[in-house]
Amino acid sequence: MSGIAIFDFDGTLIQGDSLIPFCEFVAGKAEARRALLASVRDAVMRHARDPRLGADIRTTVKSLWLRRTLAGATLDRAGEAAERLASWVRWHTPILDALHRHADKGDHVVVATGALALYMPRLIRDLPVHHLMATEIGVEGGRLTGEIAGGNCVREEKARRVQAYLEERGPFEAGTWGYGNRPSDLPFLALMRHPTVVKTVRRTRDRKAATAAG
């Protein structure tokens, strides 16, 4: 049986966070930034008022922000934003090379990310990826609802999905490899026989700098 290699996306396979520019492409940069500030404010207030919400304030911010920026947008507009996002992406060469090495030796390659399933297929279209785990957004009547459907694919939720996939598709007797950044990917990396903690890759200012960094 082959091995399996599971890769985080934002800050691991690519430089920076893909969700921010996607929402800006859909809603407009100024509106997306206003919505983000309002979402941070509202999330802090909600968590201060209701301890039952727990400590995951980041998911609350994300949920509020997606609702404000994506609700009502058409699938066509989302598709156009995904195309623009594909041009925005800058790959993190060492981890991208690792992905290709795993694929070349016959390992099962998975991308597990908190980024949106709405655009991720476009970004990994040319990669030898067998399966994608990502955060789903609801769609009704050809328009986005802005609501997360099925959970935010980060931290413990990502680890839960990875564990379920390993049990369903395994055993992977040749080994299990994981690549992700800390601290958000530590739960899923703990499930891997060969975990690699990647220092979160920030986006460089220009392509010349990105090439030098790679």
Percent of the chain with pLDDT over 90: 84
pLDDT band of 2, cuts 50, 70, 90: confident
pLDDT band of 46, cuts 50, 70, 90: confident
pLDDT tens for each residue of 69-118: 999 999 999 999 999 999 999 999 999 999 999 999 999 999 999 999 99
4-213: CATH, from 3.30.950.10, 3.40.50.300, 3.40.50.1000, 3.30.70.100: 3.40.50.1000
pLDDT tens for each residue of 154-201: 999 999 999 999 999 999 999 999 999 988 999 999 999 999 999 999
Give, as one character, the DSSP assignment of residue 10: B
* Closest alpha carbon to 73 in 113, 20, 118: 118
Q: Given the DSSP bridges, would you call strands 108-116 and 131-140 parallel, antiparallel or unpaired? A: parallel
* Closest alpha carbon to 72 in 137, 153, 152, 18: 137
pTM for the structure as a whole: 0.91
Average pLDDT for the chain: 92
Per-domain boundaries in the chain: 4-213
User: What are the percentages of helix, strand and coil residues in the chain, rounded to 5?
Assistant: 50, 20, 30
Give, as one character, the DSSP assignment of residue 150: S
* Closest alpha carbon to 40 in 61, 69, 19: 61
The structure tokens listed for 74 are 């058409």
pLDDT at 48 (0 to 100): 84
Give, as one character, the DSSP assignment of residue 51: G
